[in-house]
A and B are shown apart, each in its own frame.
Chain A
Amino acid sequence: MRQAFVRTIEKLAEKDKRLVLLTADLGFTVFENFRRKFPDRFFNVGVAESNMVGMAAGMALSGLIPVAYSIATFASMRPFEFIRNDVCFQNANVKIVGVGGGLGYGSAGFSHTNYEDLSLLRPLPNLTILSPVDPVETEILTRLAIKHTGPVYLRLGKVGEPAIHLKKPKISLGKGLVFKPGKQIAVFSTGSITANVMKAVKILQTRRLDPTVIIMPTIKPLDKALIKKIAGTHPYIFSVEEHSIIGGLGSAIAEALSELNSKVNFKRIGINDSYYKTVGNQDFLRHRYGLMPDQIAVVVKQSSIV
């Protein structure tokens, strides 16, 4: 996803001179080409994320389109108040990019994992929150983020995310995507964990279940119309995300469903509300949190009486 992002940013920077890239000292093997091509529009501002976001706001208020980049936890949580006061409240045209959203940096330890960013950022007015499933979607969402005038948070995975989209999908901001039609059961998913959702669906198909899969590239604004439509045709709804079950996509859908007065059965699948002392790689941690395909399939099967 990182590479898809930087390739797209390079292409866009060729056409739009307002685009500038700020990084808080991250991007080794990622940004060298951008720096070579656009030395006057590349700024490594050092390991200082709050200042980076404040500067980006100042640049946006002066007519530029700054893209501020770091590991997702450092891009979202460390400078949170700067995102709130300087970017969102002032509706500054800043694009904040967090890499390794979720458990991508799992073995690096707790400090580098990131499953609270959506909970923190969702309440901020003016902010558009995007979360691509794969490199193809990353390119599309990066383009949409730059085209959109206003603050955007782009939550990327890290490296090696498998392709979900075999052809270029039609995606627009604020809209979900019925990726695989099915019946009775609907699974909403966002981010690279969607690969596991698709594998879980294959397992479920062997057990005569055929879930609909809905991809949510935009977390905010939430596609409530689509949720309503799905809730009208699917009695069992699930959300899957590499994020805390508190405050992320699942919470957003729960909020929407509860206001629909809907009678659907809804269950969130995500990172539970606890800390652990031991760590491991992304798949190890996904297993711990019940996010591997077989685990997702079991929960969906057990929670649906079809």
Chain B
Amino acid sequence: MKQNLQKLLKTANTLRQDVIKISYNGNIGHIGSALSIVDILTGLYFASARLYPRKPHHPNRDRIILSKGHACAALYSALYRKGFFPKSTLNTYHQNNTLLAGHPEIHIPGVDASSGSLGHGLSIASGMALAGKIQQKKYRCFAILSDGECDEGSVWEAALVAAHQKLTNLIAIIDYNKLQAFGRTNQVVNLEPFPQKWQSFGWRVKVIDGHNLSQIVTALNSCLSKNKPTAIICQTVLGKGVSFMENKLEWHYLNPTKDQFNQAIQELKASL
């Protein structure tokens, strides 16, 4: 496990560098949101989910929906590093005529559902989970949500139904970095008591450090309950891994200058 953990740490660092590079080259923001979920995606794609990169539509694959689609730079890096598409595709991120839009779409190998408009992913993942139960398939369905996304009513529509239908194969992963588009979550629309909300909706809830790979992998690998869907609330930091981006609202939007780009890459390389 220790050796694996080292490997995962290195993967996470690589994904972070990818995020900075492709966002810088694509001249697009949402870097902070992407860095916030890098460790979650590392645990999911490189230590937990059953995936078939050469057969992206394999019927037994675990389904992963990045419902907070704006953090797609991290997803694209994970898919590339997992072998779903070549580096030449990754490098087209946010360029003209690319498959890799600023929010992920279903036509990308490894993407199970399009997102971008918040509040859709948990519904779609619920449908996939219910279909899995009907068809007696063993796959799991993961939906990665942002905290701000939980302002959307449809998230709670899905939460109610998923618990009622006992979708034990459904896992909501919530990136709780406490910063949404125009402010802190507790100042925009307070979500607290957040774990209790999910619990009261009938979900099994785990609250973990969303940057601790050991905790992430443990949570992901023990997420199947007997009769409830699972919510993993990940305490995270927007912009995690780059000192000047951490916990700064503006890095929801900004694209780095050349100096900032160099500094970010240097910091990440040094932290390996």
Which A-B residue pairs are the 6 nearest by beta carbons? A58-B127, A54-B123, A62-B131, A55-B127, A51-B157, A48-B157
Tell me which of B77-85, B110-118, B201-209 binds A.
B110-118
A selection of 17 A-B contacts at a CB cut-off of 8 Å is A20-B134, A46-B157, A50-B123, A50-B153, A54-B122, A55-B123, A55-B158, A57-B124, A58-B113, A58-B129, A59-B127, A59-B131, A62-B127, A62-B135, A64-B134, A81-B120, A82-B154
Question: B19 near A: Cβ within 8 Å?
Answer: no
Interface size class of A (residues with CB under 8 A): 20 to 34
Give Cα A81 to B120, complex, Å: 9
Q: Provide the residues of chain A in CB contact with B158, threshold 8 Å.
A: 51, 54-55
Give Cα A236 to B61, complex, Å: 58
Give Cα A46 to B116, complex, Å: 25
* Residues of chain A from 63 to 96 with CB closer than 8 A to chain B in the complex: 63-64, 66, 81-82, 85-86, 89-90
Q: Provide the residues of chain A in CB contact with B272, threshold 8 Å.
A: none
Spell out B's residues near A (CB within 8 Å).
59, 63, 105-106, 112-114, 116-117, 119-120, 122-132, 134-135, 141, 153-154, 157-158, 160-161, 164-165
Give Cα A64 to B129, complex, Å: 12
Q: Provide the residues of chain A in CB contact with B122, threshold 8 Å.
A: 54
Q: Provide the residues of chain A in CB contact with B112, threshold 8 Å.
A: 61
Shortest C-beta distance, B272 to chain A (Å), equals 38
Inter-subunit contact A51/B154 (CB<8 Å):
yes
Spell out A's residues near B (CB within 8 Å).
20, 40-41, 43, 45-46, 48, 50-51, 53-64, 66, 81-82, 85-86, 89-90
| A58: contacting residue among B117, B131, B135, B154, CB under 8 A | B131
| A86: contacting residue among B63, B124, B134, B164, CB under 8 A | B124
Give Cα A46 to B153, complex, Å: 14
- In the complex, besides A85-B114, A86-B123, 13 extra interface pairs with C-beta distance below 8 angstroms are A40-B134, A41-B134, A45-B161, A51-B154, A51-B157, A57-B123, A61-B106, A62-B131, A62-B132, A63-B131, A63-B135, A81-B117, A90-B114
Shortest C-beta distance, B261 to chain A (Å), equals 33
Q: Provide the residues of chain B in CB contact with A45, threshold 8 Å.
A: 161
Give Cα A20 to B130, complex, Å: 11
**What is the chain A residue whose CB lies nearest that of B155?**
A51
Best-surrounded residue of B113, B123, B129 (most CB of chain A within 10 A): B123
Interface of A is mostly: helix
Shortest C-beta distance, A273 to chain B (Å), equals 29
| B120: contacting residue among A54, A63, A64, CB under 8 A | A54
Q: Provide the residues of chain A in CB contact with B165, threshold 8 Å.
A: 43
Give Cα A281 to B84, complex, Å: 57
Best-surrounded residue of B130, B141, B165 (most CB of chain A within 10 A): B130
Give Cα A117 to B135, complex, Å: 33
**What is the chain A residue whose CB lies nearest that of B119?**
A50
Q: Provide the residues of chain A in CB contact with B127, threshold 8 Å.
A: 54-62, 66
Q: Provide the residues of chain B in CB contact with A64, threshold 8 Å.
A: 131, 134-135
Shortest C-beta distance, A59 to chain B (Å), equals 4
Inter-subunit contact B117/A85 (CB<8 Å):
yes
Give Cα A54 to B112, complex, Å: 13
Give Cα A170 to B120, complex, Å: 39
Shortest C-beta distance, B9 to chain A (Å), equals 33
Q: Provide the residues of chain B in CB contact with A40, threshold 8 Å.
A: 134
Inter-subunit contact B161/A46 (CB<8 Å):
yes
**What is the chain A residue whose CB lies nearest that of B161?**
A45
Q: Provide the residues of chain B in CB contact with A60, threshold 8 Å.
A: 127
Q: Provide the residues of chain B in CB contact with A53, threshold 8 Å.
A: 123
Shortest C-beta distance, B160 to chain A (Å), equals 7
Give Cα A120 to B119, complex, Å: 21
**What is the chain A residue whose CB lies nearest that of B137?**
A62
Give Cα A82 to B120, complex, Å: 7
Inter-subunit contact B128/A51 (CB<8 Å):
no
Give Cα A60 to B153, complex, Å: 23
Shortest C-beta distance, B124 to chain A (Å), equals 4
| B114: contacting residue among A48, A66, A89, CB under 8 A | A89
Give Cα A56 to B127, complex, Å: 6
**What is the chain A residue whose CB lies nearest that of B59?**
A63
Inter-subunit contact A82/B113 (CB<8 Å):
no
Q: Provide the residues of chain B in CB contact with A46, threshold 8 Å.
A: 157, 160-161, 164
Q: Provide the residues of chain A in CB contact with B59, threshold 8 Å.
A: 63
Give Cα A40 to B135, complex, Å: 10
Inter-subunit contact B113/A57 (CB<8 Å):
yes
**What is the chain B residue whose CB lies nearest that of A45?**
B161
Give Cα A7 to B34, complex, Å: 50
Inter-subunit contact A51/B161 (CB<8 Å):
yes
